[in-house]
């Protein structure tokens, strides 16, 4: 089973995933976490995992901007909740209306 971008690389380490997440955020693109248990190439829409907003800043009362570490924590949380699912991280650029990146961060963890 190949899932498009980065499918021909060895599985990404947590540090590598974090680096890509960091790249997405520095580009100003909007990250999305999606998961599906038995996906096929015909499935465009996977279930989305809501990314919790960052910590509330006590001075401004607004959530702090997302960080790469926060995104990887969210990916971890999704993987714990759905251990038999493929999980992918996508980025969307509203300016060009294009998905600028979409890759699998976790494959099903057998035996867990």
Partner 1 sequence: MDTNLASRLKTLIQQRGLTAAGLARQAGLSVASLSRILSGQTNPSFQSVSRIAAALGVGLESLSPAPTQATAPLAENTVRAVYTLENTDHSTQEAGQLMLQAALGSWSHSWMHPYVAEGIEAPTLASASQSGSHRQQVQLAFPHQLVEGGSVASLLSVVTSALSGTGARLLDVTVPPTLIRTFSGPAFGLRGLRDTFNKHGRPLLACTIRPMHGLSPRLYGRAAFEALIGGVDITVDPALLHSIPSNPWRERFRFVAEAAAAASRETNEFKTHAVNITAPTMEDMLERATWAKELELAMVMVDTAAIGWSAVQSLGAFCAKNELILCALGTRSLNGSMLSEQLQAKLLRICGADAVSTGSPLRGNVSNRRYVTGVLSALRDDSLPAQPEAGHHLPQPFEGLTAAIPAVGGGHNPWQFPRLIDAIGDNALIQCGGAVMSHPWGGQAGATACRTAIEALVQARGEGHNLNVEGRSILLKAAKYSPDLKQALDTFQEGSFLFGVVHTLSRPTEGSILPGTNNPSPTITPFRRPEPTNED
Binding site for partner 1 (CB under 8 A): 1-10, 12, 16, 19-20, 23, 40-41, 44, 90-91, 96-103
Closer by beta carbon to partner 1, 6 or else 49: 6
Closer by beta carbon to partner 1, 78 or else 91: 91
> 86, 109 in Cβ contact below 8 A?
no
Tell the smallest beta-carbon distance from residue 89 to partner 1 (Å): 10
Task: Measure the CA angle with vertex 44, ends 36 and 34; round to 5°.
Answer: 40
Closer by beta carbon to partner 1, 52 or else 99: 99
> 81, 112 in Cβ contact below 8 A?
no
Alpha helices (H) along the chain: 14-26, 68-81
């Amino acid at each position: 089973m190949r899932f498009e971008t980065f499918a021909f690389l060895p599985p990404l380490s947590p540090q590598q995933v974090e680096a890509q997440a960091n790249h997405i955020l520095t580009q100003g693109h909007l990250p999305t976490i999606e998961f599906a248990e038995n996906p096929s190439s015909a499935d465009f829409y996977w279930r989305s995992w809501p990314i919790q907003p960052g910590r509330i800043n006590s001075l401004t009362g607004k959530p702090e901007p997302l960080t790469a570490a926060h995104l990887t924590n969210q990916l971890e949380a999704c993987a714990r909740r759905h251990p038999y699912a493929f999980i992918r991280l996508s980025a969307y650029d509203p300016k060009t209306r294009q998905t600028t990146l979409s890759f699998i961060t976790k494959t099903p963890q057998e035996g867990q």
